[in-house]
Chain A
Amino acid sequence: MKQILFAVAVLTMGLTISQSYHLQLLTFIGIHTILALGLNMLMGYAGQISLGHAAFYGLGAYATGILTAHWGWSPWAALPVALAGTFVVAFLVALPMLKLSGYYLGMGTLGFGMIAFIVFREWSSLTGGDSGLVGIPSLTVGTFSVSSGKPYFFLVWGCVLLAFIACERLVDSRVGRALRAIHDSEKAAAAMGIDTSRLKIWVFVFSAVLAGLAGFLYAHLVTFISPNSFGFLVSIRIVTMVVIGGMASIWGSLLGAAVLTILPDWLHVFTDYEMVVYGLILMAIMIFVPQGLTRGILDTYERSRRKAFTTPDPSQS
């Protein structure tokens, strides 16, 4: 039901909005939503942190970028290779890494993210180094070009919809319940017969592959990628999207991605004060609504409803 409503909303937005700037912004929100959604599965449901998710985002983007721009592959042939590459790397990283927990896991993923960033920057014969990788082709279906604008908007939001459905089904399944059990207590989950380390590895790989998909979509949208789009600050921004939107909330990922995509864009009016205002807003949201915006809005709504029920009856107090 929710998905149908969502699909209708996307369709109406795509058909009514004609300004290319707004479409572009919405397309970026879609890509960021896929990123946040993947990380939310890992952080919100399984309770494991990753401070290096931009590495997988970059891996997807660079894989398709190198295959199409350097070696002349078709993007549609590059897509499965990029996703499979992300899958393999994520699996190899997860194998030793997810034995760690808490801050140690955070630091490990941070270290991996930094190393990936340095590889993107230094392996310049393949990645173009600091000056970036140019000449990534736009997507085409037959003779129809899916470059920026409406076609790309529908492509990205179609992917978002599919990711939503996949995540929602996963959360409501046996696996989802097991993940939440791990979140609450790993030991108790293990005692109930859940293979915790295997499950943690798979959810890590799943979220990494979603990030790789986002990277693919990003690379073919902007047709130019440089290491700074996949650095530490980007990893942090994905984590912030998840936390601000609300952990363990699929729709929260959408809200968090939207807020953190629109906010910097809107803050350009502050020019030099942009960073100051951004930092202040980030801190204010976390200080006043530490449970995330989705939960915060719901709580306020419920409280105001309760108030509406109790205030007409003064004799009770």
Chain B
Amino acid sequence: MVQEILQYLFSGVTNGAIYAVIALGFTMLFSTTSLINFAQGEFVMLGAMGLITLWKGFQLPLGVAFLLSTLGVAGVGLLMERLAIRTVRKPHPIVLVIITIGASILLKGIAMIAWGKDAHSAPAFSRHPPLEVAGATLLFQSLWIILIVVAVVLALQAFYRKSLTGKAMQACAINRKAASLIGIPSEKMTLLAFALSAGMGGIGGVLVAPITMSSYDMGMLLGLKGFCAAMLGGLGNSWGAVLGGMLLGILEAMGVGLFSSSLKDAIAFLLLLGILYVRPSGILGEKAIHRF
């Protein structure tokens, strides 16, 4: 029994780490621009497909393929901001939401043409044998995923705390008008936030590629679950995103293991309704943010 629970815990933490990166992308964009990007799941899909093509197809070294697909997805995010978001004359939030939905359909359509309707898979990052921990097996791939996510979170914290650009971005998040009054180019910050959050989605995709089958329509559910994780931890709070992602991953794995696998997709949304009912601002969120 203990062994089984440990096994579920391992798989939960692995999935949770991926949800956490996706949630970080949502949260980062939301805190700088107060926008929710429904194409975030599509960025995850592009990251996964990009890795598979570059690594398996073009035989590039793993590190290079990782970097290139992340940068490529960040570039797509940048383009999206320049071409679609900034050109709106009267940016009402619901209009922007529908534009991101349009972008997500567009990206999905492009992916379908580029990669076809079949599912693709990627091998594990390294050929190490699985580890044996108290009777439960821990795949080496899980360690890679957790390691990379921890590195991303630490890098993001360092960026926010140590670099001038990161501080400027936080200033934008706290008060956009005041930030631009003291000379912070808030439009550039929006652009940067888009690129970074798309890049986060891309990393999520790269990490998810070896543990599931990837196809052009994988983005929606991953995006929605990342979103649930962000809400769970508190929208706009980056530690909240990590906590929410982990919590979601672990509870999902436990629910599937101990109850039924048909519950799997429902757990995220039940948690979402629960947190909205008890504490709408999320576990670590400070106050409810009213928009619209």
Contact = CB atoms under 8 A, between A and B. Distances in A.
A, B assembled together: yes
Contacts of A108: 272-273, 276
A131 to B, nearest CB: 15
Interface string B90-123: 1111110011011111111110110000000000
B291 A282 contact: no
A127 to B, nearest CB: 13
A278 B280 CA distance: 34
Interface magnitude class on chain A: 35 or more
A103 B235 contact: yes
Interface in B55-81: none
B133 interface: no
A275 B88 contact: no
Contact of B101 (A100, A103, A240, A247): A240
Interface stretch (A10-18, A109-117, A195-203): A109-117
Interface residues of B, number: 46
A96 B101 CA distance: 27
Contacts of B164: none
Given A243-B94, A287-B87, A115 B235 contact: no
A279 B88 contact: no
A161 interface: no
A141 interface: no
Contacts of B110: 276
B289 interface: yes
Given A107-B231, A232-B224, A286-B88, A279 B106 contact: yes
B280 A114 contact: no
14 contacts: A102-B290, A104-B276, A107-B276, A108-B272, A112-B273, A232-B224, A240-B98, A240-B101, A272-B112, A280-B106, A282-B101, A283-B84, A283-B102, A290-B89
Interface in A99-144: 100-104, 107-108, 110-112, 114-115, 118, 122
A103 B36 contact: yes
B98 A243 contact: yes
B109 A96 contact: no
Interface of B: 36, 84, 87-95, 98-99, 101-110, 112-113, 220, 224, 227-228, 231, 235, 262, 265-266, 269-270, 272-273, 276-277, 280, 288-292
A168 interface: no
A147 to B, nearest CB: 34
A276 B290 contact: no
A276 B112 CA distance: 9
Nearest to B277: A96
Contacts of A110: 224, 269, 272
Interface of A: 43, 47, 49, 96-97, 100-104, 107-108, 110-112, 114-115, 118, 122, 232-233, 236, 239-240, 243-244, 247, 272-283, 286-287, 290-291
B88 A103 contact: no
A257 to B, nearest CB: 15
A282 B87 contact: no
A287 B93 CA distance: 13
Given A111-B273, A111-B276, A115-B270, A275 B105 contact: yes
A114 B224 contact: yes
Contact of B109 (A102, A239, A274): A274
A283 B103 contact: yes
B29 to A, nearest CB: 12
A100 B292 CA distance: 12
Given A107-B276, A283-B106, A290-B90, 18 more contacts: A102-B291, A108-B273, A111-B272, A112-B273, A114-B224, A239-B94, A243-B94, A247-B94, A272-B113, A275-B112, A278-B105, A279-B105, A281-B102, A282-B101, A282-B102, A287-B84, A290-B88, A291-B90
Contacts of A101: 290, 292
A290 B95 CA distance: 6
A275 B104 CA distance: 10
Contacts of A49: 94, 292
A145 B167 CA distance: 70
Contacts of A286: 88, 95, 98-99, 102
B103 A107 contact: no
A122 B224 CA distance: 19
Contacts of A102: 93, 289-292
A279 B102 contact: yes
A203 to B, nearest CB: 16
Contact of A282 (B90, B98, B224, B273): B98
A112 B99 CA distance: 23
Contacts of A291: 90
A111 B228 CA distance: 9
Nearest to A129: B262
